[in-house]
Amino acid sequence: MLTTPDPIELPAPRRIGMVSLGCPKALVDSERILTRLRADGYAMSADYAGADVVLVNTCGFLDSAKEESLAAIGEAIAENGRVIVTGCMGSEAELIRAKFPAVLAVTGAHQYDAVVEAVHEAAPPGLGPYLDLVPQADPGDITLTPRHYSYLKISEGCNHSCAFCIIPQLRGKLASRRIDAVLREAEKLVAAGTRELLVISQDTSAYGVDLRHEERAWHGHPVRTHMTDLARELGQLRTPAGVPPWVRLHYVYPYPHVDAVIPLMAEGLLTPYLDIPFQHASPNVLRAMKRPANEAKVLERLAAWRAICPDIAIRSSFVVGFPGETEADFAYLLEWLEEAQLDRVGAFRFEPVAGAAANSLPDPVPEAVKEERYARLMELTEKISAAKLEAKIGRTLPVIIDEVGEPDEDGDIGATGRSEADAPEIDGAVYLRNVPAGLKAGDVVAVTVEDADAHDLFGVVATER
């Protein structure tokens, strides 16, 4: 009798407690800190006992307020023991540490990054491919992005009920951020040196549905809390040097309104790149997954998008070996991929995850069959990728530099970057030879492509953009 592996038990999210004191501005600070932490996968605790770390946002305006803040810190230390202090009294760190040497960290008012970093250090978030949107180099490691690119999370949670996923149980239904808050964060990131914004969420296309696409004022005009409005506004951002940053959209479900962002890519307002989680193509498997089964329509739309923006890169991921997937279903997927000609493809062998509805589905696929299908899919997509990259030889493409090496024995310097078709960590790279000595991470240069393999490009700097 065929059996499936035991479901993977996902770790419970780390929980954060918050004591917020003082004025409404301090309360807003607390909300922003908790929003950042929730986006990083933390859950909130309503009491001391259930918290892995307690944050005390202090007030220091009056002596009485300071006394209240010190009393709150003392109570948190006594009841929990793992306490991070932030807020106005952070300017009196020596006093706080003298009275409470067990405090883990002290940060000042509005120091959101410092607070989040302190929480990450005290209670690292549980990272993994089933939960996290930001790619991680190694399980359990926290990879901080370099300054020249930043992830911009626009919402949390998801309204879908896919049979293989438990994100809604873990992180709740869709909860969109206010569009003016998102745009303000993006503007600050770009002003601080970000050259590439990577827009992420569990369902970017659904952004604002929960808020009924409410309008907010932004720089004197109204903008809807909607993916198309967000994309259009992000396309207006400029670096301090007056250069538009790259804006890359991830986790875009192919709803009809996605068609409206393709002209923005053709106009140069958005990076011509879409990350779309197709997961499969067979109607039978898509229905079992509880996902839309309109694969033929998708092929028509891909052709239409390419007609508008010929350089658009489409990446996606697919699950092989889903319960009930037949050889005919898998063959259908391969034929679909041949026609779709996606630029970047990732694949995953189905694994049962504790709490997922798919675990109870009949006809599990044997592990050996999963491996064989995975290998066949990757062989096909590698062939497609190799042909697409070979067609770029001789072209001059914009490339963002991620790393510049040291001079070799001949004084030549190499560098690694990415084209507009390559998101960090998950796609390919562009390897450069003999780059100018002044080149640095975050520069965007024009590169003449000299060679290619199945995943990466190789070239030389032509002229700097």
Q: What is the predicted pLDDT for the residue at 226? A: 97
Alpha-carbon distance 88 to 320, whole Å?
A: 53
How many C-beta neighbours within 10 Å does residue 276 have? Answer: 21
Query: At 141, is the pLDDT very low, low, confident or very high (cuts 50, 70, 90)?
Result: very low
For residue 84, give the nearest of 60, 46, 44, 53 by alpha carbon: 53
Mean pLDDT of the chain: 88
Q: What is the predicted pLDDT for the residue at 9? A: 64
Of the residues 340, 375, 390, which one is the last residue of a structural domain?
390
Residues 237 and 302 grouped into a single domain: yes
pLDDT tens-place string over residues 4-14: 666 666 667 88
Query: At 133, is the pLDDT very low, low, confident or very high (cuts 50, 70, 90)?
Result: low
Residue type, 351: E
Q: Is the pLDDT score of 341 beyond 90?
A: yes
DSSP label at 258?
G
Residues 428 and 370 grouped into a single domain: no
Strands 215-218, 15-20: pairing kind: unpaired
Q: Is the pLDDT score of 135 beyond 80?
A: no
Q: Which of 50-59, 161-170, 295-304 shows the lowest per-residue confidence on average (mean pLDDT)?
A: 161-170
248 falls within a domain: yes
385 falls within a domain: yes
Residue type, 83: V
Residues 318 and 202 grouped into a single domain: yes
Residue type, 387: A
DSSP label at 149?
E
Of the residues 357, 390, 423, which one is the last residue of a structural domain?
390
For residue 313, give the nearest of 265, 245, 278 by alpha carbon: 265
137 falls within a domain: no
Q: Which of 17-26, 63-72, 154-163, 379-388 shows the lowest per-residue confidence on average (mean pLDDT)?
A: 17-26
CA trace torsion 193, 198, 201, 205 (10° rounding): 120
Which residues of 257-338 form beta strands (DSSP E)? 273-275, 313-320
Q: Is the pLDDT score of 384 beyond 80?
A: yes
For residue 161, give the nearest of 409, 330, 331, 357 by alpha carbon: 357
75 falls within a domain: yes
Strands 215-218, 221-224: pairing kind: antiparallel
Residues 289 and 404 grouped into a single domain: no
Q: Residue range 233-260: average pLDDT?
A: 94
Q: Is the pLDDT score of 137 beyond 60?
A: no
How many C-beta neighbours within 10 Å does residue 341 have? Answer: 16
Residues 443 and 419 grouped into a single domain: yes
Residues 157 and 110 grouped into a single domain: no
Q: Is the pLDDT score of 366 beyond 90?
A: yes
57 falls within a domain: yes
What is the domain-level CATH number for residue 276? Answer: 3.80.30.20
Of the residues 352, 370, 390, which one is the last residue of a structural domain?
390
Of residues 293 and 116, more confidently modeled:
116
What is the domain-level CATH number for residue 400? Answer: 2.40.50.140
Q: Residue range 342-353: average pLDDT?
A: 90
Q: Residue range 295-309: average pLDDT?
A: 91
Residues 370 and 343 grouped into a single domain: yes
- For residues 395 and 412, is the Cβ–Cβ distance under 8 A? no
Residues 383 and 403 grouped into a single domain: no
Residues 165 and 236 grouped into a single domain: yes
- DSSP H or E run through 122: helix 112-122
Of residues 297 and 236, more confidently modeled:
236
Total domains, the chain: 3
Alpha-carbon distance 33 to 118, whole Å?
A: 12
Residues 402 and 385 grouped into a single domain: no
Q: Residue range 197-216: average pLDDT?
A: 94
Q: If 0-12 CB within 10 Å is exposed, 13-18 middle and 19+ buried, where does residue 450 land?
A: middle
Full DSSP string of 232-255? HHHTT---TTSPPPEEEE-S----
Q: What is the predicted pLDDT for the residue at 340? A: 97
142 falls within a domain: no
> How far apart, in Å, are the Cα atoms of 389 and each of 129, 134, 334, 342, 456?
27, 25, 20, 12, 7
Q: Is the pLDDT score of 157 beyond 50?
A: yes
Full DSSP string of 438-456? T--TT-EEEEEEEEE-SS-
What is the domain-level CATH number for residue 49? Answer: 3.40.50.12160
136 falls within a domain: no
Residues 440 and 460 grouped into a single domain: yes
Q: Residue range 123-132: average pLDDT?
A: 64
Containing structural domain, residue 241: 149-390
Q: What is the predicted pLDDT for the residue at 110? A: 67
DSSP label at 279?
B
144 falls within a domain: no
Percent of the chain predicted with pLDDT > 70: 89
pLDDT tens-place string over residues 413-435: 999 999 999 999 889 999 999 99
Residues 326 and 409 grouped into a single domain: no
Q: What is the predicted pLDDT for the residue at 112? A: 77
